[in-house]
Structure 1
């Protein structure tokens, strides 16, 4: 069975398709243990990009005063799977949210979406149909790239400031309003619901991952693929190449360029297929400029490092001598920010210099790469 239905499901349609959560099997403290054990047996991992074991997060946040936050903001412009879930199958996400609340003992749940997001009407209509044990509050988050980062969500829900807090303390130690908090991507929560609705063994055998595919493919959008499949298989699920593809950006704007289509999807479940007629350095320069503009501007790597490497890439496109500066600067960004934002930018830039090495040489020599010369 596919995760995404062909059209939006109301509560009755959701239950016909996916079933009803067997709450009686998970009653009481022993039931919470069994629920978390089922999630562990399914080997469910976070679908927001980090891939952290979900059962471990549930155990860490298991406190009487805990809060569960469903992250449906999807800040990366190349990812649309969370919006597809909340639009087409909101009850699957809400079932998962209630199960996470039960597993942790939470008395409050919050579903976060971006301000003005088109999924709001679907979510609110779904909530109006339900009579859940733990109330769900919908919170709109500023439409900024870093605002959906885990600690930024906690910060916003506590103080109204949607900037990352740093790597410690973790939200399960001190989260929203100082209470232990579980933050899970809505895709993770939908998968959690499927674990319980299908059983962990069946889930592992039939599991599918949602991946957003854009760029030079025949049917861009959200596809469902088996875990661990190659990039070739992901592109095939989106109808195959609409024109020759030169390289693929895997993992969204903070991801990695590759020309090895035998490799798989890592990080955020988003794949962009770069057409052979396009310049990968030019695309990367535009993304780096976006990432620099979208930083929280509260730590050195974001305030100074990201604008510097964005300027270096712009200079590289013009034929300037930027490669030596990039070689010095890029290693200084990773691991030094308040969040992983500068790490992603450094990863993207480094992979572009490697995958598009011939174009780097051409730009440096004459200010134009072979792509621009061929279409001029």
Structure 2
């Protein structure tokens, strides 16, 4: 990935910062309003609620409601900055930890003040991000003790119960719910497990409360696909998906895979949908973690769906028999479509799985697999039928193209000397 772009209005607080190409020092962050005392914890919580800030980890749950639930749970809570991105098409969280660790730590400290937490954790798998966070903690430690917890990088490692399990010394695997972490999490304490971009936006809102609505309605996106380089972009809600494709460099997409692997496939007729969690949910898709992969004009959606299911099946935690069997069955069925060996009943089987499997696993992996199958049927039914007649040349060409889902984190240089001014990369 080479591009870092901003489509937000000038003057709106930016998660990308002033110099996206280098790691920000504590002095530089404080000079832009970071670590300030503009609002009390109670005032900040009210501003978060008024702005309508939602989580950026995938579920888009109202942040103020989550903070209140942890605060009111009855015991001294714990706060966790969740920087483990399981979605292969997302890079925003690792980038934030590498480039703007103080922004994330400031947000974590403010979440601790709101909830009354006595300790915090930064949970991640990226070694470069861990080094930058450790350095930031040495430069300016928050008021509460913060520990960095490493985890192996997997699709399910960032699920909130897997986060708690790993911090408590176990494997990063989901557990049955209830209880949810806000009720009983790390060490049995009520625990706020919050995506690092959510924390970053809490810190931005604290620094500029007069821009709370804009801050809450702006998001980081990982845009990829076609023949163009992926782009990490900061975008306000309201842009169409088609305009984002053009900004990324895929001017005539044949559709898109939204929300990482969670939002499913949409066809070209849906590209005029606007970037907004509610609008996308009403259309049967999801913004999720903000990863959008556009289909090139000559790319086959069946092949992309098959690649997504292969990834999900390989990443299964293998704790739930229904997930292992269901995800594997969908993977195998889609593979027969790409090779022209599918049987005529495949559409019926995919439809049955897409409606019967969601909600039956311990985490969202099975839901993502079933949702991908269902979205392929809804958005591209004619292609599913045509793949029964003959092998697909586009699927055949893609078979040897390697990993098409994983996006690399943009480079962030470690600035050696505080206040050294380095030019930021040109926006795409």
Q: How many residues align?
A: 365
For residue 250 of structure 1, the aligned residue among 252, 258, 275 is 258
For residue 332 of structure 1, the aligned residue among 356, 360, 367 is 356
Higher helix share: 1
Q: CA deviation at 1:372?
A: 5.2
Alpha-carbon displacement from aligned partner over 1:111-142 (angstroms, at most 9, x marks no partner): 0001x533122111111101321011000012
Alignment of 1:101-116 (within 5 A): 101-114=112-125, 116=126
Contact 1:47 1:188 in 2 (8 A): yes
Q: Which residue of 1 aligns with 2:194?
A: 184
Q: CA deviation at 1:221?
A: 1.9
Q: Which residue of 2 aligns with 1:369?
A: 392
Is structure 2 residue 96 aligned with structure 1 residue 97?
A: no
Alpha-carbon displacement from aligned partner over 1:187-234 (angstroms, at most 9, x marks no partner): 0000001111101x4221355211000112645221011124211232
Contact 2:105 2:142 in 1 (8 A): no
Alpha-carbon displacement from aligned partner over 1:246-302 (angstroms, at most 9, x marks no partner): 111110012221121111342220110111212211121121011011111112331
- For 2:398 and 2:204, the matched residues in 1 are separated by 49
Structure 1: 5+ residue stretches without partners: 27-31
Give 3-state SS (helix, strand or coil) of 1:214's partner.
Answer: strand
Q: Which residue of 1 aligns with 2:213?
A: 204
- For 1:166 and 1:261, the matched residues in 2 are separated by 37
Q: Which residue of 2 aligns with 1:58?
A: 67
- For 1:326 and 1:20, the matched residues in 2 are separated by 51
- For 1:158 and 1:181, the matched residues in 2 are separated by 12
Q: CA deviation at 1:370?
A: 6.2
Higher relative contact order (CA 8 A, sep 6+): 2
For residue 44 of structure 2, the aligned residue among 15, 35, 56 is 35
Contact 1:84 1:222 in 2 (8 A): no
Q: Which residue of 1 aligns with 2:324?
A: 303
Contact 1:64 1:105 in 2 (8 A): no
- For 1:217 and 1:227, the matched residues in 2 are separated by 25
Q: Which residue of 2 aligns with 1:15?
A: 30
- For 1:292 and 1:56, the matched residues in 2 are separated by 33
Q: Which residue of 2 aligns with 1:82?
A: 93
Q: Which residue of 2 aligns with 1:29?
A: none
- For 1:132 and 1:371, the matched residues in 2 are separated by 53
TM-score, structure 2 as length reference? 0.81
For residue 377 of structure 2, the aligned residue among 337, 353, 360 is 353
- For 1:173 and 1:149, the matched residues in 2 are separated by 16
- For 1:298 and 1:249, the matched residues in 2 are separated by 27
For residue 4 of structure 1, the aligned residue among 3, 7, 16 is 16
Contact 2:214 2:236 in 1 (8 A): no
Q: Which residue of 1 aligns with 2:132?
A: 122
| Residue range with higher mean Cα deviation, 312-321 or 70-79 | 312-321
Give the direction of change, closer, same or farther, for the CA distance of 1:277–1:117 in structure 2 (3 Å limit).
farther
- For 1:349 and 1:90, the matched residues in 2 are separated by 38
- For 1:361 and 1:82, the matched residues in 2 are separated by 39
Q: CA deviation at 1:64?
A: 4.7
Alpha-carbon displacement from aligned partner over 1:35-59 (angstroms, at most 9, x marks no partner): 3112111211101111111111111
Contact 2:26 2:139 in 1 (8 A): yes
Give 3-state SS (helix, strand or coil) of 2:220's partner.
Answer: strand
TM-score, structure 1 as length reference? 0.91
Give the direction of change, closer, same or farther, for the CA distance of 1:247–1:119 in structure 2 (3 Å limit).
same
Structure 2: 5+ residue stretches without partners: 1-11, 276-286, 400-428
Is structure 2 residue 271 aligned with structure 1 residue 261?
A: yes
- For 1:217 and 1:47, the matched residues in 2 are separated by 27
Contact 1:75 1:144 in 2 (8 A): yes
Runs of 4+ in 1 over 4 A off after TM superposition: 372-376
Alignment of 1:123-162 (within 5 A): 123-162=133-172
Contact 1:309 1:330 in 2 (8 A): no
Alpha-carbon displacement from aligned partner over 1:335-357 (angstroms, at most 9, x marks no partner): 11111211111111111223232
